[in-house]
Structure 1
Amino acid sequence: MTVSPSTATGTALSARDIHKAFGRRVVLAGVDLTVRSGQTVGVVGENGAGKTTLLRILSGDLRPDQGTVTVDGTLSHCPQHPVLNNALTPFQHLRLFQEAFRLPHLDRAHELIDRLAFADHLHVPVKVLSGGTRQKLNLVLALMHDPDVVLLDEPYQGFDWQTYLAFWDLAAARRAAGGTTVVISHLAHDIDRLDAVIQLGHEATVMTEGAGR
């Protein structure tokens, strides 16, 4: 796989002829996609269609057997299962990521925490947090540096309804600011919130434009 700056005007993320197999099991076969700057795009498909595999390849976490990925700007990946240290508190995670991202302050992180309503849990070990609160922290860590492109693998698992709505408010704000979001979703009522849908299947990849508002 090659990852390089985008040369197409307005293209934030593109993939060409992506193939991936695990042993004899073919997961992705010739996937192509183009995501424009400022779009919120959903990735849908049946279990085993390769949604998580595709996002891992787009993020650079997994190497494809064949194909190229092109990214314009900074990229962040929020995996389906939070990758957190159970012994650390959420605030300690923020400080670690602040150093990693070389951020001068945590203002954006605290804004996200307030939007997702878990400020009361900042100073307790992650091991005692609920699954939904862990997922909130996972999302904040992916968004706190305002990446140009963010890849989200079912980011609202365990969220209550109000937090689910808060997530889509954040996605809408990213779109308004020109940020690009690619999100794996299993929920049919998400479709109206998306600008385009990437349908993964065993035969082909179909991208439908204009699905959102």
Structure 2
Amino acid sequence: MNHQSWLAALTGELHRHGVDREVAGHVVAEAAAHLYDSGEAPLAVFGTPADYAGAVVRSVGGPAHLPRRTGPGPVRLDVRDVRKRYRRQQVLDRVRLTVRAGEVAAVVGANGSGKSTLLRICAGLVSPDSGSVHVHGTVGYCPQDGGTADFLYPDEHFALVGAGRGLDRARSRAEGRTQAAVLDWDASAAVAARQLSGGTRQKLNLVLAGLGDPDLLLLDEPYQGFDRGTYLDFWHQVWRWRDDGRAVVVVTHLLNQLDRVDLVLDLSHREATR
């Protein structure tokens, strides 16, 4: 079964289950983005359309389910006229973005439009050529790849990052394992990071970003390699973070047409919309 036929079958199964049309569109769009980016076979990644539709229904709680919304709070991230050039290529040009507590911002755009570069600048890992970035509060950052130490166990990652956020070893381990369980991952096994699958290493990155309840989370395509219902679990976690009053910035696909975030920064046009 090729990508197109699998996605068409999934759409039919979601409609058969009575899933809200907007939610179904979001699910299909996210699955399509993952399949076309990875080149993987849909049956190997998600299983049959019927099975995956069932997982979606169990995850979103039935038709027309929408996450709870709360009002925005103080500014957590303020990006003003940021520019970045690599050699002769202008990657970012006068980018502006303001995200408040209790908001989720999606960063979208074509490949090479500077999405990952912007998040690295916001995280303090790269300096802009001009412009300013002001962060108010603590930051958690989930890179698109890398970010883990090959020979450390998950618990050791939790303790290392937790120590930097003022947590003792026991609390770091407990919080890490709890957040991992939300993503359907048992992180208690003594397995070195280099032995984890790509998707599981990304789960580890995501858990590390959320340790210690940072005020601002910067997530760069954090669900790469996730299978079945895990990316839906991820989005529910994002909504919980928002409802807890945290600000979240996510590099993702196709969300500028869907009511799943509070504002969208399209780097193809360098402007944010609410």
Gapped regions of structure 2 (runs ≥ 5): 1-72
- Comparing 166-175 and 106-115, the one that deviates more: 106-115
1:124 to partner: Cα distance: 0.8
Matches within 5 A, 1:12-161: 12-104=76-168, 105-106=171-172, 107-119=174-186, 122-161=189-228
The amino acid of 1:151's aligned partner reads: L
Q: SS state of the match for residue 207, structure 2? A: helix
Q: Which has the higher helix share?
A: 2
Aligned length: 199
User: What is aligned with 1:197?
Assistant: 264
- Higher Cα Rg, which structure: 2
Distance 2:264 2:107 in 1: 6
The AA in structure 2 aligned to 1:206 is: E
How far apart are residue 121 of structure 1 and its match?
A: 5.8
User: How far apart are 1:129 and its partner, in Å?
Assistant: 0.9
Distance 1:134 1:189, change over 3 A: farther
Residue 84 of structure 1 aligns to which amino acid in structure 2? T
TM-score (norm 2): 0.69
Partner letter of residue 101 of structure 1? R
The equivalent residue for 2:74 is 10
1:110 to 1:189, Cα distance in 2 relative to 1, 3 A = farther
Map of 2:273 onto structure 1: 208
Distance in 2 (alpha carbons) for counterparts of 1:190 and 1:140: 28
How many angstroms apart in 1 are the aligned matches of 2:214 and 2:272? Answer: 23
The percent of aligned pairs where both chains have the same amino acid is 44
Query: Structure 2 vs 1, CA of residues 207 and 128 (structure 1 numbering), >3 Å: closer, same or farther?
Result: same
Q: Identify unmatched segments of 5+ residues in structure 1.
A: 1-8
Q: Pick the structure with more strand per residue.
A: 1
Contact 2:96–2:272 under 8 Å retained in 1 = no
What is the one-letter code of the residue matched to 1:163? T
Which amino acid is 2:203 matched to? K
Distance 1:198 1:26, change over 3 A: same
SS at match of 2:258: helix
Give the drift of 1:122: 3.1
SS in 2 for 1:161: coil
Cα RMSD, aligned residues only: 1.7
Stretch of structure 1 that moved more, 185-194 or 73-82: 185-194
Relative contact order higher in (CA < 8 Å, ≥ 6 apart): 1
TM-score of the superposed pair, with normalisation by structure 1: 0.88
Structure 1 position 10, deviation (Å): 2.0
